[in-house]
Structures are given as C-alpha cells and as structure tokens.
Amino acid sequence: GLITVISRAQGPVDLYRFQRFASVKQRTMLAAEHPTCAWPGCNTPAERGQFHHLTPWSHGGETNVANLVTLCNYHNGINDDDPNAPPRRGRLTRDGGTVVWQPPHAH
C-alpha cells in the first residue's frame, strides 16, 4: 500500500550538500516510504534504524530524499557503500524510483 504524509513542517525537503544527516522532515518522509528497514527480508522498524545515503556522502551523495533510505544499524553496516571496493554483501540503490537490492557482482 501507499502512505501519504500530510503535516506542516518547517525546512526544505532536500538538503543537498549543506547537511550530512537527515532532517526530521526527511526522516518522516523516509519512514513513510519504508516503515521498516529497506533491506530485503528485514523487519526492523524505521524508528530503530538509520538513514543511509544510497550514493555515499563520501562520494558526493546529497542529503536528498531520493538519495536516502531507511536501514537498520546492521544492514547499514554491511551495505557495500564504496562502488570501487570489492563487492561483499550487495548494496541498495534506486531503480526507476524504487529502492532495490543490487547483489554483489551485479551492474
């Protein structure tokens, strides 16, 4: 199903490179998109997770909703953040607007 969040909140939706950590507004939007960790098969609630940059901050990723996803602490730790490092556990990415898991060695 789909969830629509309607609430007044101050501040921009996208923070670009001005701030590394997701704002309260972004966290609310991301929890609506993924009420649980976005890693396939994980049911850790979003409120117990972290907000992960799909394109890593260290590689120029922006703190924009389209570049963020909810992950639990464990899956945020094992996600293959560096696209130039040898693949180990796969990584999350957006494909056509949908967050998908990209297995190791996939392109």
- Write out the residues near Zn ion by the rule CB under 5 A: 37, 39, 42, 44, 72, 75
CA-to-CA separations, 51 to 36, 57, 70, 107, in angstroms, rounded: 11, 12, 5, 24
Q: How far is the CB of 17 from Zn ion (least distance, A)?
A: 27
Nearer to Zn ion, 15 or 92 (CB): 92
Q: How far is the CB of 39 from Zn ion (least distance, A)?
A: 4
Q: What number of other Cβ atoms are within 10 A of residue 69's Cβ?
A: 26
Nearer to Zn ion, 29 or 37 (CB): 37
Q: How far is the CB of 68 from Zn ion (least distance, A)?
A: 15
Whether 63 contacts 96, CB under 8 Å: no
Q: What number of other Cβ atoms are within 10 A of residue 99's Cβ?
A: 20
Nearer to Zn ion, 29 or 69 (CB): 69
